């Protein structure tokens, strides 16, 4: 008897040596996910580099694929992983973060229910070193996010979006059409979020969809991430891309 064809949601994770020891917790959070009938997940772990530091931490599971490549930052690693993304939807999961129960099922439900929604985001809790969590005080209401809403909030609130790019789940064909993540040393995920916002409606889920680990080794905690000159340049190109996409009115889904 031939087994029924199963549908896949792809989990994409960029990782480097200092964060590799967190992969076990991310894996445990994936194993705890309950998917809709007929669905499965495939975890693509892409090392940003070619070292011996990450492989020992990669779970031995046929649902997990590990590859390496030249260093180029997390955006490059994630985009390279797309070559092996064999599913309809792509979910971002940073190596040091965790998915609460139900996160994947909720993303799938939204995208299956409404083909006009290109991407989803969800509520985030910061996971502190002592195990406590802290929420965000500007979460939007549950429901669709209309074109341009994220850019407008980001511009009005000091380049801080009301939804977190680390929670993105996106249709694979839309993600590929936008070229994956931006070629930036940081904020590459914000660049993708604002590009998505410029061309497609999104959706925000009020239930917690990510535990965002705060720890000394994370990239956003390093001094280079807050260098004013570099940050201004990153924000300028992120904004320019989003505005250019909106101006040219390339929309998803395509309109007749």
- pLDDT number for residue 220: 59
As a whole number of angstroms, the distance between CA 53 and CA 146 comes to: 42
pLDDT value at residue 223: 62
pTM assigned to the model: 0.93
Q: pLDDT at position 6, please? A: 87
Q: What pLDDT is attached to residue 222?
A: 53
> Using CA of residue 178, residue 102, residue 115, residue 87, what is the dihedral sign?
positive
**Token pair of 242, please?**
């989003």
User: For residue 220, what are its two tokens?
Assistant: 């956003």
Could you tell me where the beta strands, DSSP code E, fall in the chain? 7-15, 39-48, 64-69, 89-92, 117-127, 133-134, 143-145, 169-171, 201-213
**Do 211 and 100 contact (CB within 8 A), yes or no?**
yes
Neighbours of 13 (CB within 10 A): 27
Is residue 158 exposed (0-12), middle (13-18) or buried (19+ Cβ within 10 Å)? exposed
What is the CA 50 to chain-centroid distance, rounded? 23
Residue 225: per-residue pLDDT: 59
pLDDT for residue 2: 41
User: What pLDDT is attached to residue 1?
Assistant: 43
**Per-block mean pLDDT, blocks of 10 residues, the chain (256 long):** 74 97 98 97 98 98 98 96 97 97 98 97 94 88 97 96 97 97 95 98 97 76 73 97 95 81
CB-based contacts of 127, cutoff 8 Å, min separation 6? 97, 98, 133, 211, 212, 213, 214
* 22 vs 29: CA distance, rounded Å: 11
Closest C-alpha among 45, 36, 37 to residue 10: 45
């Amino acid at each position: 008897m031939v087994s029924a064809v199963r549908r896949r949601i792809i989990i994409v994770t960029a990782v480097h040596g200092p964060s590799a020891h967190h992969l076990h917790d991310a894996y445990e959070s994936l194993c705890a996910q309950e998917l809709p009938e007929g669905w499965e997940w495939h975890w693509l772990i892409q090392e940003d580099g070619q070292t011996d530091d990450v492989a020992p931490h990669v779970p031995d599971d046929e649902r997990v694929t590990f590859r390496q490549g030249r260093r180029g930052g997390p955006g490059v690693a994630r985009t390279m992983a797309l070559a092996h993304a064999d599913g309809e939807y792509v979910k971002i999961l940073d190596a040091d973060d965790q998915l609460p129960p139900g996160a994947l099922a909720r993303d799938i439900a939204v995208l299956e229910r409404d083909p006009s929604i290109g991407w989803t985001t969800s509520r985030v809790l910061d996971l502190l070193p002592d195990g406590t969590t802290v929420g965000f005080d500007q979460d939007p209401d549950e429901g669709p996010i209309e074109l341009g809403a994220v850019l407008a909030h980001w511009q009005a609130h000091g380049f801080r979006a009301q939804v977190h790019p680390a929670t993105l789940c996106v249709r694979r064909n839309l993600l590929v059409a936008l070229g994956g993540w931006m070629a930036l040393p940081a904020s590459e995920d914000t660049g993708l979020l604002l590009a998505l916002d410029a061309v497609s409606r999104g959706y925000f889920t009020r239930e917690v969809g990510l535990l965002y680990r705060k720890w000394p080794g994370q990239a956003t905690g390093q001094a280079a991430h807050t260098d004013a000159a570099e940050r201004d340049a990153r924000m300028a190109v992120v904004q320019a891309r989003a505005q250019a996409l909106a101006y040219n009115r390339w929309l998803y889904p395509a309109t007749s």
